[in-house]
């Protein structure tokens, strides 16, 4: 397998506050990886390193080597990395800026100078995928938080990147929408797209991802298959819940 993300001895801090410490991580092309852990463990920061926002746009004390899709994040422009690495932030309001729903999906495609007919096809495809096509002329500010989250995801998927990063994508979605989203992500992953998702819901992780990383105190504490990592009652000390399918096993092993 080919490493799509390679991180070696990464540390990142704001002043004296360590956010990431001694991170070593390789993610192969085509993996579906979940990242979990308590608030403040460095999960979101790790995603921002993977797409080059750190250290290029968010400054701090950055040490180590990070390559994404063969690009060194310290020397490559974020605009170059974003052509291959898409990201959906936890708060969709920080990502949406267009005045019409369809313009939000079309924006990055227009910047890439795609033909108009291709842009229209992609906009229609991804708005329909998330049930937003009937709202294509709406102002995004009029959407619910869940609909805004869907719009942010649709805009990212429309660019069809090689790697997609998600920061708590289910946080604004109801249960049925979250299940549908992960079904879409599994389908994309089967096509060879690398999916990396920060997710607090261990039920969604165990049902969908192929590998789980658990962060705490700015470091990776656990790394392995979800059925191994999430079935252990030890994950509770990292602020995570044992999925229902493993609870009887977890009780018997205490």
120 in a domain, yes or no?
Answer: no
**Higher-scoring residue by pLDDT: 146, 2:** 146
| Rounded CA separation 80/223 (Å) | 29
For residue 56, give Cα distances in angstroms to 11, 51, 71, 80, 127: 15, 10, 13, 12, 31
Instruction: Determine the 3-state secondary structure of 193 from DSSP.
Output: coil
207 in a domain, yes or no?
Answer: yes
| Rounded CA separation 63/59 (Å) | 12
8 in a domain, yes or no?
Answer: yes
pLDDT tens digits along 70-83:
999 999 999 999 99
pLDDT tens digits along 83-127:
999 999 989 898 999 999 999 999 989 988 999 999 999 999 999
Task: Determine the structural domain holding residue 250 and report its residue range.
Answer: 1-84+198-254
- Rg of the Cα atoms in the chain: 18
| Rounded CA separation 32/4 (Å) | 12
- pLDDT category at 248 given cuts 50, 70, 90 is low
Structure tokens at 80: 């170059």
223 in a domain, yes or no?
Answer: yes
pLDDT tens digits along 56-68:
999 899 999 999 9
98 in a domain, yes or no?
Answer: no
102 in a domain, yes or no?
Answer: no
193 in a domain, yes or no?
Answer: no
pLDDT at 202 over 70: yes
Instruction: Determine the 3-state secondary structure of 101 from DSSP.
Output: helix
- The count of domains in the chain is 1
Q: Find the CATH number of the domain harbouring 15.
A: 3.40.50.300
């Amino acid at each position: 397998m080919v490493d799509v993300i390679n991180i070696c001895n990464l540390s990142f801090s704001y002043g004296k506050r360590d956010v990431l410490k001694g991170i070593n991580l390789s993610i192969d092309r085509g993996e579906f990886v979940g990242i979990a852990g308590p608030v403040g463990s460095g999960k979101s920061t790790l995603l921002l390193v993977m797409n080059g926002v750190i250290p290029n746009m968010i400054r701090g004390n950055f040490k180590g080597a990070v390559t994404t899709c063969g690009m060194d994040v310290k020397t490559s422009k974020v605009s170059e990395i974003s052509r291959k690495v898409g990201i959906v932030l936890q708060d969709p309001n920080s990502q949406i800026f267009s005045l019409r729903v369809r313009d939000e999906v079309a924006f990055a495609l227009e910047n890439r100078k795609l033909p108009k007919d291709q842009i229209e096809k992609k906009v229609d495809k991804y708005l329909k995928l998330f049930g937003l096509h009937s709202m294509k002329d709406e102002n995004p500010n009029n959407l619910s938080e869940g609909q805004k989250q869907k719009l942010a995801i649709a805009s990212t998927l429309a660019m069809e990147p090689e790697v997609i990063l998600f920061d708590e994508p289910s946080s604004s979605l109801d249960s049925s929408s979250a299940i549908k989203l992960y079904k879409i992500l599994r389908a994309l992953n089967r096509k060879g797209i690398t999916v990396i998702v920060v997710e607090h819901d261990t039920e969604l992780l165990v049902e969908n991802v192929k590998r789980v990383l658990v962060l705490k105190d700015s470091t990776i504490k656990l790394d392995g298959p979800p059925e191994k990592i999430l079935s252990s009652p030890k994950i509770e000390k990292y602020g995570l819940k044992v999925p229902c399918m493993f609870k009887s096993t977890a009780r018997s092993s205490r």
